[in-house]
Amino acid sequence: MKRIILLNVFIFLSCVSLHAQMSYYLKGEKIPLTVDRNFVNVIADEDFLKSSSSSQLFQSFNLERDERTPVQGIVKLKLKSAPEIKEYSEIVEMLQKNENIKQVFPFFEREGAEPIGTSDIFYLKLKEEKDSVLMKKLADEHRIEILSTFMPTWYILSIKYSNFSNSIDVTNYFWETGLFDEVDPAFMFHFKPHCVNEPMQYFQWGLHNIPGINANEAWKLIGNEEISVAVVDTKIQADHPDLSANIRNDANAHYIIQ
């Protein structure tokens, strides 16, 4: 009973943080965030989403589905009119209590640009590869799922089964332990139509990030021109679905992307 009470308190505090002033760490600096009360992201039961019950539920909260650049497993909901803080908090709380809604994630304002969303995903960079033991220990304690690694020290993790309700709180927690080199809440950007043919682009933070490689801006410049790009790196995921059909080995055991 005591554990259940503590869990409910943790969830309540997490709900409160959705409408309070929040912040996250970027290169060790605390960056303030303001919740955008026009949108929320939710993870919901698939059968429920296909039923008329979902439309009825969303309509009752003055919500409608935003189908632009959909992401697998994530439903973006738009409020028809931005509510006051108290009303927004009540909507989030009621969505979280619905048995068909698994998780609710906030959006944050960006000056002069579309808001950025969050999901159950976040990124973590180890100080050293051996620190993966520390990461796994903390992940197990909080029921955080380690999904994969995309560099020797960068990991993708999920809070889907944990007690954390959003990626901001969990990245702040990991950073404040002092055990890790970097954290990233995996902000989800809405990209313009010229570069939305990649369904997982929401999670490719380096394409449009500061510091980043500004890939979207580069695509605007080249238009329909065919440009050859050489990527020099130390490793490659040869079985990646975007690469496996176009990779061959040369005589020196180098990977060539055709």
Cα gap 140→148, rounded to integer Å? 15
Is residue 197 a part of any domain in this protein?
yes
Helices (H), 167-214: 167-176
Eight-state DSSP code of residue 94 = H
Residue 237 has a CB neighbour count (10 Å cut-off) of 14
Is residue 142 a part of any domain in this protein?
no
Cα gap 116→107, rounded to integer Å? 5
Choose among 89, 71, 70: nearest CA to 79: 89
- For residue 256, what are the contacts with CB-CB under 8 A and spacing of at least 6? 247, 248, 249, 250
Is residue 153 a part of any domain in this protein?
no
Structural domain including 210 reads 193-257
Is residue 149 a part of any domain in this protein?
no
Q: What is the mean pLDDT of each run of 10 residues along the chain (258 residues)?
A: 39 44 88 92 88 89 78 84 89 91 91 86 94 96 93 91 93 96 86 50 54 62 69 68 68 51
Cα gap 106→101, rounded to integer Å? 14
Residue 209: what pLDDT? 54
Is residue 9 a part of any domain in this protein?
no
Cα gap 106→73, rounded to integer Å? 16
Residue 12: what pLDDT? 38
Is residue 70 a part of any domain in this protein?
no
Helices (H), the chain: 2-17, 46-50, 52-60, 85-97, 132-141, 167-176, 215-222
Check the CA dihedral 198-183-32-91 and report its sign: positive
Q: Is the distance from CB of 40 to CB of 104 less than 8 angstroms? A: yes
Task: Count structural domains, the chain.
Answer: 1
Residue 10: what pLDDT? 39
Residue type, 249: N
pTM: 0.68
Pairing of strands 154-158, 121-126: antiparallel
Pairing of strands 101-110, 35-44: antiparallel
Is residue 54 a part of any domain in this protein?
no
Residue 34: what pLDDT? 92
